[in-house]
Amino acid sequence: MAGVSLENWQERIRDPKIECMSRDEMSALQSEKLVKQVKRVYENVPFYRRKMQQKGVEPGDIRGIEDIGKLPFTTKEDLRDNYPFGLLAVPQEKIARVQGTSGTTGKLTLASYTKYDVEVWGECVARALTMAGLTSEDRIHICYGYGLFTGGMGLDYGAMQLGAMAIPMSAGNTQRQMMCMEDFGATAFACTPSYALYLAESIQEAGLVDRMQLKAGIHGAEPWTEEMRRKIEDILHINCFDIYGLCEVTGPGVALDCIHHEGLHVYEDHFYPELINPATYEPCADGETGELVFTTLSKEGMPLIRYRTKDLTSMTHGTCKCGRTLVRIHKFTGRTDDMKVIRGVNVFPTQVETALLSMGGGVAPHYLMIVDRENNMDVLTVMVEVDERYFSDEIRKLDELKNKVAAVLKQALGVSVRVKLVEPKTIQRSEGKAKRVIDNRQM
């Protein structure tokens, strides 16, 4: 019940020199780092040398950050082709650890870190935790999975760098999570937003909200909405923050939103973001939606040059209310590969979530989208859970609810939707990334 309102919020900035740097100073810093990084990868990574030669670019052509557009892109497929250690820029013995995520094709997306890379990672997460109002006095309950997935280790490194106490719970066993959270007096917790909501509801149902000392939640690894954030905040009386990262770039801690929730501040001294039109590769202006592209300016182990994340967002430059000047990326519209084209309309799972939450009750914001093809027509079915408070003894009223959900979704998505009401808690709650879409179409 230790939630802090904006009125008495005390903004903490771990590294004001970097986080509040002027644009000119930041560009100078990025330029210096990029020039070195390009030289390093050209000399040490055959893959980058070949790609640059194909494009007719030499390290000497890159004199500053403004020249970044001359460099070739790197894609997830490139990572797969060079799996597992083909992109190292240091000798293998310098690699201190690997982290990865399971790809949809079976092979992992693997990232290699030197000791220095791990330190930078921890420092970035520590900056993020500070942005969320945490200090060395806090106790951080980490229920992200520990292992190859970067969530658990990333938050752990950050807590250590901050000097806070880490509670390395890993995912699963909600009863035990609640017990430890209460017994150890956790003041913050970190996990995926879908699990955070599930955990919050479980804490509420068990009547434990008042016995918790939580004040902040750090959630990421899947797209979520403002409505979902408010829902978790309202149940637990805490502030929740959106953490962004991907293992290829470093893991969580690439960006975090501050208390003002007007975009996620990117640690651009280490990770230089660009936003491009995914079809034309042209850069996007502030406010335009495009694909996020990262160049790792500090990474030693497996540097990435203009890595296409497939995440769709928009960017804002300028000083935030919190005082930081770091460029901000906005809530993700989705991923280029989460996006489903249904009868020619682009549909993102987050749109379904926003629409369900906008109804203000009747159904829970847990859903599963199923796309089928019947008689050459795409059919979108959305399974939603009936909310106890709106359950009626009459089939007619349930039909009305179903029709209302269908109408709201059609309005939001622009395609008609078959709604299937299901019993509460039957849609799988994930402890990792939530599976929101099943596509049964044979393309």
Partner 1 sequence: MIKQLSVFVENKPGSLMEVTSKLTEAHINIRAVASFDTPEFGILRLVVDKPTEAKGYLTERGFVVRVNDVIGAELEDKKGNLNQMLAVLAENSINVRYIYSFVIREGRAPVLVFSTDDYEKAASILKDAGVKMVDESDL
Q: Which residues contribute to the site for partner 1 (CB under 8 A)? A: 386-388, 391-395, 398, 420-426
In this structure, the dihedral spanned by the alpha carbons of residues 244, 247, 253 and 257, taken in order and rounded to 10 degrees, is -10
CB closer to partner 1 out of 270 and 366: 366
- Amino acid identity, position 84: P
Confirm if 132 and 240 have CB atoms less than 8 A apart.
Answer: no
Q: Is the peptide bond before 59 cis (omega within 30 degrees of 0)?
A: no
The tokens of 404 are what? 């209302």
Measured CA to CA, the distance from residue 318 to residue 234 in angstroms comes to: 30
CB closer to partner 1 out of 7 and 205: 205
CB closer to partner 1 out of 7 and 388: 388
Q: At how many degrees (to 10) do helices 395-413 and 349-358 cross?
A: 130
How many alpha carbons fall within 13 Å on the CB side of residue 141?
26
CB closer to partner 1 out of 412 and 422: 422
Confirm if 155 and 125 have CB atoms less than 8 A apart.
Answer: yes
Greatest extent of the chain over all pairs of C-alpha atoms, in Å: 74
CB closer to partner 1 out of 57 and 178: 178
To partner 1, the closest distance from the beta carbon of 425 in angstroms equals 4
Give the DSSP letter of residue 414: S
- Amino acid identity, position 436: R
Measured CA to CA, the distance from residue 171 to residue 431 in angstroms comes to: 6
CB closer to partner 1 out of 204 and 392: 392
To partner 1, the closest distance from the beta carbon of 153 in angstroms equals 33
Let me know if 129 is exposed, middle or buried by CB neighbors in 10 A (0-12, 13-18, 19+): buried
- For the chain, the distance separating the N- and C-terminal CA atoms, rounded to the nearest angstrom, is 50
CB closer to partner 1 out of 322 and 384: 384
